[in-house]
Chain A
């Protein structure tokens, strides 16, 4: 079966830990991480990327240019 799958890249150095990605994601992909980055923020992580449906809401809402969501058609 063909299903939509997305690759999520989150640049933890640039993330300011705001949490908008977690707020908007309908699939509960994101969670706050456990370490503090060099700028003093706690970056988020895409902990369940396999659930992503490619709606792109996280991409539109991330204010700090640190998310890429690349749709990819693959077999599941």
Chain B
């Protein structure tokens, strides 16, 4: 283990059971680097995880308090925790594209609408990879998967002028960013900004799946070719089009009331007898 993970993660969980070359750990590391720069300790963060590769590989790795949500429900559980925990306790969620943008999308949107102070890291492997590689909500159009042997025809959430981050912005999210797990410090800066925002923050991280997306959709197991394909996502000729950029997508940090603090203020008013 490196010095960063030794400080924050449980030794018996690292290395994770993720496939060798899976990019999920690159996302995981950037979250830890951001926490380190913000001088957050193990006791300052409660870490929740969703279901799928992203949930399984990050679940219970955190040395501090942590929990797993049922599929797509981790955002609702986090909302409850936000109400129960002291306001300075950070809540960070790692989930996947299926969990956040499909199965749990309604819960996610309600968190954005309420502007619940949580940071959601969506680690996106471009499909349902833990179940064998079926197409999902971000699989590029035309790409072959286990469930689209002739190419995916179903419109996804990130192509042809449709963008899930637009949906979340319209829904009230106050910080949104998009990166590849292969990026460097820019991605860490976004995670820091997301954690600092007192409101609903989400970062969409695309990462390489080398066991299903690589061999089935890209037709290669070669780590160099997989690396360069994923590197090219945000470059000219990238699969999701010219407007698909990495970086901060929307920053309305601290511009709207946060759900738990609104409730706390109202409770104080009621207790003081100002509201009847």
Taking Cβ atoms with an 8 Å cutoff, the residues of A that contact B are 9, 11, 14, 16-20, 23-24, 39, 41, 56-57, 59-68
Q: Which of B20-28, B89-97, B189-197 contacts A (4 or more CB under 8 A)?
A: B20-28
Docked Cα-Cα span, A19 to B16, in Å, equals 17
Q: Judge whether B2 and A65 touch: CB under 8 Å.
A: yes
Contacts of B25 in A (CB 8 A): 62-65
How far does the Cβ of B272 sit from chain A's closest Cβ, in whole Å? 49
A-B interface contact total, Cβ < 8 Å: 74
Contact with A along B15-45 (1 / 0, CB 8 A): 1101111111110111000000000000000
Which of B14, B184, B224 sits near A57, CB closer than 8 Å?
B184
Interface centre among A60, A63, A66 (most CB of B within 10 A): A63
Q: Judge whether A61 and B223 touch: CB under 8 Å.
A: no
How far does the Cβ of A37 sit from chain B's closest Cβ, in whole Å? 10
Which of A24, A41, A63, A65 sits near B23, CB closer than 8 Å?
A63
Look across to chain A and name the residue whose beta carbon is closest to the beta carbon of B210: A18
| Interface status of B265 (Cβ within 8 A of chain A) | no
Docked Cα-Cα span, A57 to B231, in Å, equals 13
Docked Cα-Cα span, A6 to B273, in Å, equals 63
Which of A11, A19, A39, A61 sits near B2, CB closer than 8 Å?
A11
Contacts of B5 in A (CB 8 A): 65
